[in-house]
Structure 1
Amino acid sequence: MILIPLWCSVTASKKLHIHYEFGVSGMLNSIRKNAKSRVFQVPLVVIIFVFIFYFGYNTLSGNASTAAAKVNGVEISFQDYNETYRRMEDFYKETLGGQVSEDILNQLGLKKRAMDLLIDRVILAQQAEALGFEVSDDEINTAIKNQEVFFQNGAFNEDKYRQILSINGYSHAKYKEERRFELLLNKVQDYYRNTAVVTDADAENEFKERNTFVTANYVAFDPAVFAITAQFTEQQVEEFYKAEGEAFRTQEKRSAKYLEFKTEDFLKEVTITEEALASEYSARKSRFYDEEAARQKSLDEVRDELEGILKNEKAANLAERVAYNTLTDLEDSKTKWDDLDFKTTDVVGAAESSESFPDSPDFQKMLFAIGKDSQGAEVMDNDVVYIVAVNELIPSSIPELSEVKDAVEARFRIIEGNRLAREAAESFLAKATAEGWEKALDGTGYKVLTSESFNAKATSIPPLGYSADAPKKFFDAPEAGKVIDTPFEIGGNFNAFSIATVTNPDMGLFPEEMEAIKAELLPAKREEALETNMEQLRENADIELNRQFLNEQ
C-alpha cells in the first residue's frame, strides 16, 4: 500500500459564509486547536490513489448534477469528494481507536474539511500554472527515493518499489505523475511560505515573553466546601432532574440463552483413513521437518500426532456444520428454542461481567449486537461454536425521581458547590479590583498562598496545575499588586489571583539571542504567511458549491 502524507483543510472561505465550531475533548480538542489553518500539516496519512487530481487538472470532467463544487471553472466531482471524505473518516476512526460516533465526526467537520482540501488543491494547481512552476524528472526521482515506505535495510530498494506499485495497480509512469502533482503543490506552498519575515520586534517580544516571570498570590475557593452548606428546594431538584434526567438513564440489560457445540463432543464421530493420512502428510510435510536433526520425519513417526490434528479439524468442522444447521432450523421455524436443551446467563449490562457467561471474548459482544427478536447468531471460539440469542431484555430507561433521588441530590449539590465557589471568587475579585487585594481580604479569613514563578509561555501555574489560558492573563502590563479580574478553575478549585512579584528580563542579553529566536519563530511564521496568502486566493476565487453538498452540511 502506497502511503503519502497529504495536508488537510479545516476552516471555511469567507466567500462561502460557512463556519464550523468543534466542541470535543481530549485528542479531538487537540485536532481542533491545531487545525486553525486550512493548510496546517496534520498527521493525516491517506492512500494516494484517493485523489484523481493529476498535473493536467483541467481534464477533470463532470456536469451540473455530478459536480460537488466548481473552482474557477474547474469541477470537483462527488466521486472525488466522497472518496476523500471516506479516507479522512477512516483515518480518524483508526486514530481514535474506532470509537468514533457520527456526532463526533460531525463535530470534527470532516465533510467540510474534505471539500476544503479539494478546493485548495485546485487553487494551488491553478497558481502553479500562473507562476510557471514545473517539476523535473530529477526532482520526482529524488522524492521517490527518499520515501521510507520504499526503503529496505535503510536505503531505497528498486525491487520493493516496483513490488509496492504492482500490488496497488500502479505503473512507474502513473506514480511519477501523481508525485509530480504533489511536488508541484508543495512548490506553490513553499513559494508563499518563503514570503515570511521574522522582524526584530517579533524576536524582542518573544524574548520578553520567555524571560519575564511572575509569582502570584491566590485564594482557592473549593467547591466541595460550598457544596456542604449548599441549600436548595425540592422544586429545584425536580427542575434539575427534568432537564438532566438523561444523565441518570439506566443501561439496557440482557441475559442470554445459548447452545454450545464443542469440538470434543464430535471426536467420536470422526475417523481418518490411511489414504487421508498419507495425503495430508504429503501436503503438510514441512510441519514435520526436524530442524535440529536436519531431516524429514516419516509418516510412521508422526502418525499419532497427525491423526490427532486431522480428527480435531474434522470434529471442529462437524461442530460448525451442526451449529449452522441448528440456527437455520431456528430461523426457518423448523424447531423452537423451547424444544432445545439450552443454557442461560445472568442479566447484565454490556460492560458488566458475570461468571455465568462462557469464557469467550465475543459471546457478550454478540449478545448485545443482535436484535431482541433474533433467533440467534453464531459465535466461533477455538474449540466451541455457540448459538446465542436474547433470553431476557430490560430496556434502558430514565427512572422516576423517587428511585434515584439521593443520587440526583448529590449531583445537584456538586453543581451548586461549583456555582457558589465561582460566585464567591468573582465577588472577591470584584472587591479586590475596586478596593485593593488587601482590603478585600480584611475579615474574610481567606488563606492566601503564593505560586512558584512562571512566564507567558507556561501552560500551568505551579503548583496548582494545568491551565492553558490563565498564565497569559498575568502578562498584559504586569506589575506587582495587579489583580487578575477573572477567576480560573485549576486543580478543582476556583482561584482568585493577584501578581505578587515581577522579574523583568535582562534586555542586554537580547542581541546575542536575537538570531536564534528568529530561527525558532520562522517555521510558524512560514505557515502564517502561507495561510494569509491562501485566504486571499480563496477570497478571489470563484467558488460554487452544489446545493446537494450544502444540504449535507
Structure 2
Amino acid sequence: MLDKLRDSAKSWVAKVLLGLLAASFVVWGVADVFTFRPGSALATVGDQEISAQNFTDSYRNWLQNYQRQVGQTITPEQARLLGLDRIFLNGMIRDAALDGEADKMKLAISDQQIADIIQTNRAFHNSQGQFDPTLFREVLRQNGLSEAGYVAGERQRFLRGALADTVEWNFTPPNTLKEAVYRHRNEERDARYFVLRPAEQDVPSPSEQDLKTYWEKNSARYTAPEYRVIAVLKADPQDIAPKIQISDADLAAAYDKFKRDYFKPETRAILQIPFPNVDEAKKAKERIAAGTDFMALAKERGLTDADASLGEVSKDKIFDTIIADAAFGLAQDQVSDPVQGKLSVVLLKVTKINPEKQSTLDEVKNELTSRLQLEKAKGEVQNTYDAVEDARAQQKSFDDIAKEVKLDLVVTPPVDPQGLGKDGKEVNVPFKEGVLKQAFESDTGVENDALTTPSSGYVWYEVREVTPSAVKPFDTVKAQVESDWKAQKLREVALEKAKQLVERAQNGIAFETLAGEAKAEIKKVEGLKRNETTNEFGPEAVAALFSVPENGFAFAPEGDGKGAKIMQSQAVLIPTFDPNSEEAKTITKALTDGAGSNLAASYVADVQNELDVYVDENMWRQVTGANAN
C-alpha cells in the first residue's frame, strides 16, 4: 500500500489531493481537537490513549527519517513553525480511530498472513532477492524496533488499510464527469493573430521624480541582500573514508563475510506460450518440431513480444515453481514439452543463459575497500563529534577546535542566503543548503546545534559577521531604474492599444484593417490545446484564446513584455469521447484515485467524530514547547 501511495504522489491529481488532505485536517480536528481535557494522556480517542512518551518517541523517529529522506536538516523549532508536530499527532489520532473501528468490527489477520507480508518486504531481502531472517533482525535493530513490536505494527497497518482502502476502492466516477475532463483536455482551437509592438518613442521620457517614485515603490527590486560571514567545521564519512587504510587481512575477512553479496545467480531469457489444455500444447509443439517459429506461433495466439517473454530472470523470480524447474532444466534454444503449471499449460523456450558467477576478491577489491572505508569512517566521525562537543563545552574557539580534531575550518567571505558573494559568484560553503538556511536564522554570538548530513556526518557553524540588507542608493541604480520604468510603460501602452483594437474588432472592424494599422502580418495557428504552449503561444496567450467563443477576439501580452498579441478564435474542435481509449482509462484512474482518497479522508473524519477525540492542550505545550494559541 505504501508503494502505491508513493507512486500516486507523483501525479498531478495527488498534488491536488494533498491540498484536500491538508484541508481535511480542519475536519479531523486541528482546530477543534486541540481542546483542554484533564487527564494523564496527551490525547484520547474513544477509549484509547496516546501518551506523551509515545508521541515524543514516535515523532522524534519520524522527524529523523524525514530529514534523511529530504536530505535537509529541520530543527524542532522549524518543525513546530511548519506545524509538523500537530500534523503528526493528527496522524496518530487517525490511526487510533481506525484501530478502534477495526476492534469494533472485529477485524483480524492471521499470523501466517502477517508472516507472508513481512517476507515479501524487499527491505528484508538479501542480494539474491530472498527473505533473510538475519537481515530482518538487523534492520529492526538499527531502527530501534523489536520483532514483536514490528509485527504488531504491521498487523495494525494492514487492518487500518483494510478499512480506509475499502472506502477508496469502491468509488467509480460517473461517465459525465469523465467525458467533461476528456473534452476539457482535448478541445482544440485554430486562431488568426498579429503582434502589436509599440515603438519606444510612444513612451514619454521619464522625469527625475518619475524615476525616484518608481524606485521607492519598487524598493525590493533594488535592495541588496543581507550578507553573513560563516565559519564551518565539517566531519563527514564521505570525506574521511578515502584517507583510511584497509589491510589485506581486513579485506579477506570482509570478503568471507560479505561473499554472498557478490554472487550473481544464473539467469535465463525465457519465452512462454500459454494454452488452455495439454492437447493444444502438444499440437503446437509438433508444429514447432516441424519448423514453425516459436514466436510466430505466439503471435498466432494473439501474444505480443512482451506478452511471450518472462525477461532475463533468476529461478527464484518465477512465481510458478513448476514452470521455474522446467525452464531451468532446458538447454539453450530448446523448446519444452507441455508444462502443466499451477495456473496454465505452457510451452517454454530458453533463448539465453547467463551462468551464475561468484566474483573473486580481486574483482571486488575496490568496491569492498570503499565499503570498509565508509564503515570505519562512520566510527571515526562519531569520535570526532564527541571530541568537538567536549571542546565546545569547554568554550574553546572554532579555530582551536579545528586544530585539535584536525578538521578544515572554512570561513566564508560575505555570502547571501542563496550562496552568492557580493560579486554575484557562488561561494564555497560546506553542506551549503543546510548551513545557509540555519545560519541566516541564527546570529553572531549564538552557539548552534550541530547539523547532520544525509551520509551521517556532522557540521558545526557559527555566524561571525552580519551585513544587513539595504536599499541601494538611487544614484547607483538610476540606469537600471530608468530601464525598468520604460519597460513597464511600454507594456502598459501595448496592452492598452491591444484592448482598444479588440474592442474595435468586436464592433465590426475587419481584422485585416486592424493588422494594417498596426503594420503587422496576420499569422495562423492550428490545433492549440488548452494545456499546451508553443514558442509563439505562451500560457497567457493560450488562456486568453480559450476564454472567448469561436470567432471571438482576445489579447495577451507577449512573453518579452514589449508587445501584445491580438487574436481571433476560429475553428473549435471538441473531440468525441471514447470511453475505451487509453486516455479515457487514464482519466478514469486519476478521478477514481482522487475522489476515492477524499472519500477515505471523510470516512476517517466521521469515525473520529463518533469516538470523541480530545487533546490535553496544557500537556501539549509541555511536550512540544509550543506557546498557547
Q: After superposition, where does 1:134-149 map in structure 2 within 5 Å? A: 134-149=108-123
The amino acid that maps onto 2:122 is: E
Instruction: Give the whole-Å Cα distance in 1 for the aligned partners of 2:5 and 2:477.
Output: 50
**For residue 38 of structure 1, what is the aligned residue in structure 2?**
21
- Structure 1: tracts of 5 or more residues without a match: 9-26, 41-61, 258-280, 295-316, 334-343, 376-387
1:135 counterpart SS class = coil
1:216 counterpart SS class = strand
Q: From the superposition, tell whether residues 396 and 232 of structure 1 become closer, same or farther in structure 2 (CA, over 3 Å).
A: same
The amino acid that maps onto 2:570 is: A
Instruction: Give the whole-Å Cα distance in 1 for the aligned partners of 2:462 and 2:81.
Output: 36
Q: From the superposition, tell whether residues 159 and 226 of structure 1 become closer, same or farther in structure 2 (CA, over 3 Å).
A: farther
Q: After superposition, where does 1:404-443 map in structure 2 within 5 Å? A: 404-426=477-499, 428-429=501-502, 432=505, 438=511, 443=517
**For residue 264 of structure 1, what is the aligned residue in structure 2?**
none
Which one of 114, 126, 132 corresponds to residue 88 of structure 2?
Answer: 114
Which one of 569, 573, 581 corresponds to residue 499 of structure 1?
Answer: 569
Q: Which is worse superposed, 78-87 or 496-505? A: 78-87
Please list the CA deviations of residues 213-272 of structure 1 after superposition, one character each: whole Å capped at 9, or x if unmatched: 22233455679x779936555445444444443443334567899xxxxxxxxxxxxxxx
**For residue 463 of structure 1, what is the aligned residue in structure 2?**
535
The amino acid that maps onto 2:478 is: K
Q: Do 1:216 and 1:451's aligned partners in 2 also have CA atoms closer than 8 Å?
A: yes
Q: Do 2:194 and 2:515's aligned partners in 1 also have CA atoms closer than 8 Å?
A: no
Instruction: Give the whole-Å Cα distance in 1 for the aligned partners of 2:508 and 2:155.
Output: 67
Q: CA deviation at 1:521?
A: 0.9
Q: Do 1:251 and 1:396's aligned partners in 2 also have CA atoms closer than 8 Å?
A: yes
Q: From the superposition, tell whether residues 35 and 256 of structure 1 become closer, same or farther in structure 2 (CA, over 3 Å).
A: closer
Instruction: Give the whole-Å Cα distance in 1 for the aligned partners of 2:149 and 2:464.
Output: 57
Instruction: Give the whole-Å Cα distance in 1 for the aligned partners of 2:193 and 2:616.
Output: 55
Instruction: Give the whole-Å Cα distance in 2 for the aligned partners of 1:288 and 1:128.
Output: 52
The amino acid that maps onto 1:147 is: N
**For residue 482 of structure 1, what is the aligned residue in structure 2?**
552
- Structure 2: tracts of 5 or more residues without a match: 24-35, 232-244, 256-359, 363-383, 401-409, 448-460, 621-625
2:158 counterpart SS class = helix
Which one of 162, 184, 195 corresponds to residue 159 of structure 2?
Answer: 184
Q: Which is worse superposed, 530-539 or 486-495? A: 486-495
Instruction: Give the whole-Å Cα distance in 2 for the aligned partners of 1:520 and 1:158.
Output: 42
Higher-RCO chain (CA-CA 8 Å, sequence separation at least 6)? 2
Which one of 127, 130, 142 corresponds to residue 167 of structure 1?
Answer: 142
1:453 counterpart SS class = strand
1:463 counterpart SS class = coil
2:470 counterpart SS class = coil
Q: CA deviation at 1:441?
A: 5.3
Q: Do 1:203 and 1:518's aligned partners in 2 also have CA atoms closer than 8 Å?
A: no
Alignment partner of 1:532 is 2:599: yes
Q: Do 1:451 and 1:461's aligned partners in 2 also have CA atoms closer than 8 Å?
A: no
Instruction: Give the whole-Å Cα distance in 1 for the aligned partners of 2:200 and 2:81.
Output: 35
2:528 counterpart SS class = coil
2:552 counterpart SS class = coil
**For residue 99 of structure 2, what is the aligned residue in structure 1?**
125
**For residue 313 of structure 1, what is the aligned residue in structure 2?**
none
**For residue 224 of structure 2, what is the aligned residue in structure 1?**
250
Identity of aligned residues (%): 17
Instruction: Give the whole-Å Cα distance in 2 for the aligned partners of 1:30 and 1:201.
Output: 19
Please list the CA deviations of residues 349-401 of structure 1 after superposition, one character each: whole Å capped at 9, or x if unmatched: 4646799xxx99759989x89976799xxxxxxxxxxxx99998755433332
Instruction: Give the whole-Å Cα distance in 2 for the aligned partners of 1:212 and 1:125.
Output: 47
2:164 counterpart SS class = helix
Please list the CA deviations of residues 275-316 of structure 1 after superposition, one character each: whole Å capped at 9, or x if unmatched: xxxxxx9x9674899x99x9xxxxxxxxxxxxxxxxxxxxxx
Q: From the superposition, tell whether residues 122 and 332 of structure 1 become closer, same or farther in structure 2 (CA, over 3 Å).
A: closer
Q: From the superposition, tell whether residues 430 and 345 of structure 1 become closer, same or farther in structure 2 (CA, over 3 Å).
A: same
Q: After superposition, where does 1:370-381 map in structure 2 within 5 Å? A: none
1:114 counterpart SS class = helix
Q: CA deviation at 1:148?
A: 1.5
Number of residue pairs aligned between Structure 1 and Structure 2:
425
**For residue 398 of structure 1, what is the aligned residue in structure 2?**
471
2:471 counterpart SS class = coil
1:215 counterpart SS class = strand
Please list the CA deviations of residues 99-149 of structure 1 after superposition, one character each: whole Å capped at 9, or x if unmatched: 889999799764564344334333433443444433332332222122211
Q: Do 1:465 and 1:491's aligned partners in 2 also have CA atoms closer than 8 Å?
A: no
Q: Do 1:221 and 1:494's aligned partners in 2 also have CA atoms closer than 8 Å?
A: yes
Q: After superposition, where does 1:21-100 map in structure 2 within 5 Å? A: 33=16, 35-38=18-21, 64=38, 71-72=45-46, 74=48, 76=50, 98=72
Q: Do 1:230 and 1:417's aligned partners in 2 also have CA atoms closer than 8 Å?
A: no
Instruction: Give the whole-Å Cα distance in 2 for the aligned partners of 1:422 and 1:115.
Output: 51
Q: After superposition, where does 1:226-237 map in structure 2 within 5 Å? A: 229=203, 232-237=206-211
The amino acid that maps onto 2:524 is: T
Q: From the superposition, tell whether residues 330 and 77 of structure 1 become closer, same or farther in structure 2 (CA, over 3 Å).
A: closer
Q: From the superposition, tell whether residues 328 and 111 of structure 1 become closer, same or farther in structure 2 (CA, over 3 Å).
A: closer
**For residue 450 of structure 1, what is the aligned residue in structure 2?**
524
The amino acid that maps onto 2:95 is: R
The amino acid that maps onto 1:157 is: D
Instruction: Give the whole-Å Cα distance in 2 for the aligned partners of 1:329 and 1:102.
Output: 26
Q: CA deviation at 1:175?
A: 0.9
Q: From the superposition, tell whether residues 329 and 522 of structure 1 become closer, same or farther in structure 2 (CA, over 3 Å).
A: closer
Q: From the superposition, tell whether residues 362 and 108 of structure 1 become closer, same or farther in structure 2 (CA, over 3 Å).
A: closer
Q: From the superposition, tell whether residues 75 and 348 of structure 1 become closer, same or farther in structure 2 (CA, over 3 Å).
A: same
Q: Which is worse superposed, 106-115 or 521-530? A: 106-115
1:37 counterpart SS class = helix
Alignment RMSD: 5.9
Please list the CA deviations of residues 22-50 of structure 1 after superposition, one character each: whole Å capped at 9, or x if unmatched: xxxxx9x999645123299xxxxxxxxxx
Q: From the superposition, tell whether residues 345 and 471 of structure 1 become closer, same or farther in structure 2 (CA, over 3 Å).
A: closer
Instruction: Give the whole-Å Cα distance in 2 for the aligned partners of 1:30 and 1:522.
Output: 10
Please list the CA deviations of residues 78-113 of structure 1 after superposition, one character each: whole Å capped at 9, or x if unmatched: 666666666676666656653889999799764564
Q: CA deviation at 1:531?
A: 1.0
